[in-house]
Structure 1
């Protein structure tokens, strides 16, 4: 099956393309660098011609109040193109618990993206993932100086990008779910604990302090970012991933 992967040159997209092609599909990566722009609509018709499925892995350039407009416009354009090209399956990657954190602009925007897809004209699947292992360095950088890193004690269940890509590829190659599949890592940490593990593995002597006002994750209440019993759990642990 020909599968158009929009955002197919990024961290997740490039891995999804490789996995699908290794599985015998014709996965084609698309991005602004290949002439496909979901905001303007440029290149969408050409990218979707002959495709049985489309995977949308594009992301908003900002995490602020501008992100809802990005997802509204990009999804409207993509779904109109998929309808016209008679694509039979549209897949997006979202976030576990995304609809439980309305305080965050970006989470509201991703919830909007899901809602637009659900109400659209194309059979769909949503893959919701927990936080990526690969994002931990960025999280540490938000509230750090040369001596300390401040992190909230928010509970998270992170997952390797390779495992997310496998989950997205599996869903894209199958029949539309008409719903959501949750995927998560095998371990639950508090964010400050994860920070200490990360710094220790890197030989970084800075101290991690619990600060329940630091960064964006204090907006998360309770176990909103922890996968439920219906989630598919990966096997790669964080310490295994760090060791690689």
Structure 2
């Protein structure tokens, strides 16, 4: 089966391509570096020719409100149009647990628009909602740093290893469309502050980490459970502490 992976050279996409290839599928990495640009539509028709499934794990290079909205709205429209012309029978997209609860954030508003476009397209689909990746602890901290202090909102998080997300996306892509959402999360939930503090400590990063009731998560206010998955989520096996130990 031919599966085109949009964003197939990135953190998740490259792992999805590898897993699908290992299982005997024709997995094609589609990205600007391979001649496919979803914003302009360049290379999409050629890449999708003969494809049964399209997996979109691409992400905006900018998190500025207008830029991220343009990336997801225009890119998704172009992908869905090309899929319709190519006869693709399953669209799989990677999104984020809590997207609909984080609409104060420009990034999550754009992700919500992407999901709505997929639902309205008429192409059978599956949307995979993942919690925050282990690998993004430092990036999240960087965005919330003032001086030498990381100021975090209160709330709990259930982070997941990128490899486990890729496995869930690959598994979903070769199954029947669910025409709904599948959630994947790590096996442990703990305060956001603990997640960031442990991630930075593992890199000997000296920044102070505190919970600040005024802090926002990518511009959005958090509740205790905003970032947590529902009861039917697939729970991955990799534990955060074990992953951190392997990074040394």
TM range (shorter): over 0.9
TM-score scaled by structure 1? 0.95
- SS of 2:28 mapped into structure 1: strand
- SS of 2:65 mapped into structure 1: coil
1:207 maps to which residue?
Answer: 208
The CA distance in 2 between the partners of 1:53 and 1:209, in whole Å, is: 44
> Any conservation in 2 of the 1:50–1:85 contact (CA below 8 Å)?
yes
How far 1:164 moved relative to its partner? Answer: 0.2
State the superposition RMSD in angstroms: 1.5
Residues 206 and 37 from structure 1, CA distance in 2 versus in 1: closer, same or farther, beyond 3 angstroms? closer
Deviations 1:49-103 (A, max 9, x none): 0111000111122223212222111111111100100011111000111001111
1:105 maps to which residue?
Answer: 106
The CA distance in 2 between the partners of 1:124 and 1:54, in whole Å, is: 9
Check if 1:74 corresponds to 2:75.
yes
Matches within 5 A, 1:75-90: 75-90=76-91
How far 1:121 moved relative to its partner? Answer: 2.7
The CA distance in 1 between the partners of 2:149 and 2:240, in whole Å, is: 22
How far 1:30 moved relative to its partner? Answer: 0.8
2:23 maps to which residue?
Answer: 23
The CA distance in 2 between the partners of 1:86 and 1:230, in whole Å, is: 31
The CA distance in 2 between the partners of 1:51 and 1:125, in whole Å, is: 16
Unaligned residue ranges in structure 1 (runs of 5+): none
Deviations 1:146-198 (A, max 9, x none): 74332222211100000000000000111111111000011111111112222
Matches within 5 A, 1:150-229: 150-216=151-217, 219-229=221-231
How far 1:145 moved relative to its partner? Answer: 6.0
More displaced, 140-149 or 229-238?
A: 140-149
- SS of 2:201 mapped into structure 1: helix
- SS of 1:4 mapped into structure 2: strand
Kindly report structure 1 stretches of 4+ aligned residues shifted beyond 3 Å: 143-148, 203-206
- SS of 1:79 mapped into structure 2: helix
> Any conservation in 2 of the 1:79–1:121 contact (CA below 8 Å)?
no
Unaligned residue ranges in structure 2 (runs of 5+): none
The CA distance in 1 between the partners of 2:76 and 2:205, in whole Å, is: 42
How far 1:227 moved relative to its partner? Answer: 0.6
> Any conservation in 1 of the 2:4–2:28 contact (CA below 8 Å)?
yes
> Any conservation in 1 of the 2:154–2:223 contact (CA below 8 Å)?
no
Check if 1:13 corresponds to 2:13.
yes
> Any conservation in 2 of the 1:94–1:128 contact (CA below 8 Å)?
yes
Deviations 1:8-46 (A, max 9, x none): 000000000000000111101010111111111111100
How far 1:215 moved relative to its partner? Answer: 5.0
